Chain A
Amino acid sequence: MLLEIKNLHASVGGKEILKGVDLSVNEGEVHAIMGPNGSGKSTLAHVLAGRPGYDVTEGRVLYKGKDLLAMSPEIRAREGVFLAFQYPVEIPGVSNVYFLKNALNAIRKHRGEPELDAMDFLKLTREKAKLVDIDEDLVKRPVNEGFSGGEKKRNEIFQMAILDPTLAILDETDSGLDIDALRTVAAGVNQLRSPQRSMIVVTHYQRLLNYIVPDFLHVLVDGSIALSGGKELALELEERGYAWLEKEPPGPHAEAVV
């Protein structure tokens, strides 16, 4: 098992958001997490990536059999965890390539691999830029500065392609995208699916799952997983919404509903 989340409780600014999340992800699986606004989807994504200010109050997370929560964000990244941000940050003054070369070499060093020189890195960026269909000019520009919403999301997937994570967490990567941008981003993600890579796809809308078809789908309601099932669950949610799940607090056997 790659990731095992057990009874995870987490608070932000003293307010409990996650109230006992259990989730297991095996190698190569794609898990979608859906849920209404404020259910804790993004919080879960950020807790896994180690965002400061998100306090875990109970529970544990094992990643490759190791205690993920004990690791700093950079160590998690070096161990293969990647978070695609819902709101990628603009960093004027730092070029994408400079930033990514440093990041990749920090990861490679951690893995005991030799650092890539400028030429090899350039070759890699060309190859991956093609894979996720991102303009090479964007790659050279300062990180996300002046990028459109779609370009920012594409840049996240490009970074993911370069850094080659074992566990990719996509936090509402579809939000704010028009249909063409959504298709491009989803195609990039699909290119990166592999038996060696697991993904957690956090989304508010079912439409992303038409393009990125998950192996499993979980519904997060009020800080815990209310329902889990296969990809067909998405269609049911599309029809019925989340309200029916919110009215009755899920019992311990919620999974039996499906």
Chain B
Amino acid sequence: MTRPTIPLGLVFSRSGPYAMMGREMEKSALLALDEVNQSEAFDFTFTPHLRDPRGLVAAYHTACDDLIREHGVDHIVGCYTSASRKQVIPIVERTERLLWHPARYEGFESSDNVIYVGAAPNHTVVPLVRHMLENIASDVFCAGSNYVWTWETNRVLREIVTSAGGRILAERLLELGETAVDHIVREIIERKPPAVFNTLVGESSYVFMRALHAASKRAGLAIPVLSCSLCEPELKLIGSAAAAGCITSSAYFESIDADENRAFVARWTSRHGTGSHVSVDGQSTYVCVMLLARAIRRAGSADVAAVRRAAASHRYDSPQGPVWVDPDNNHCFLTPRLARSVPGCRFRIFWEADAPVRPDPYLSNLDLASIGMKLDQRGDALAKRPTHLRVVK
């Protein structure tokens, strides 16, 4: 018996400036697609339509236009950067299609025609900054790539840190792809900040981590580095020693200790080899395809409106744990986690939320006062509250 097939658009940049992530995400999408196609649990198959926009923003629009008009595609899994997603949104909105977006992003968006499977800012930056304030320092040095993710992440960081009485010691930005990091590393070694917040991406980040590691070692310093984006394949690219010790916030780490994840990682390595690591964005791409397949099964059709209704609040026990779409904003309930990178290109998870956390793309529920209050209760030297706010008896 042949099952009906549903065309599925997969739009990932296998070449260009973020080709590494694009390839990881496409590999994960195809893994999920093969599993769906081989599973009797689904009464349909997916036919993949692969497109490589080569990291060119305008090419995302062209690729999706072609998929929708020429190949009858209703559902597209893809995009990595916010600039690419913004190119695709007008066309999926105009033609009433769905974009399943795997990557974490900076928030402040909620399209009816996008299912946001990646983490919202309340899943990533907020827990990381809270951890920093409670356990490391209230003053921080920021190094980042000059684009929307850094701008917005640093703004949230600044808002939380300053409301808790801390300071942003510096904000140094590099153009995307820039690898001249020495002046920033020199400044960090000279000023010895209690923490460094790294929102550099791609090659800039890898070169920075290596240079900071080497310089810290020479100077006999151990400055904690924090990140909301580092993932396992990147640890390998940076180098095991230089990548170790970075405190990272993410909804997925390869080391999550759960049956679903162990089985997923085993399937991944049997397909791509033991030297290959799953990344947060790769796993999230897998979750996109699985959420879509389950929603189509529940809806009994690939019709966009029916699939959107079927996906809403439907729980899927994914490798990263239970995930479901919040119909209020089309973002996902995810479990935030914090981990420290360790030698061997792995992360050791040291904190995770008790349950999946409601997505808050506009950070409208961010309670700055409660973060400051927690620090007050600790009453230690980390919490530098302004003196004029102290109770005087």
Chain A complexes with chain B: no
Q: B residues near A, CB below 8 A?
A: none
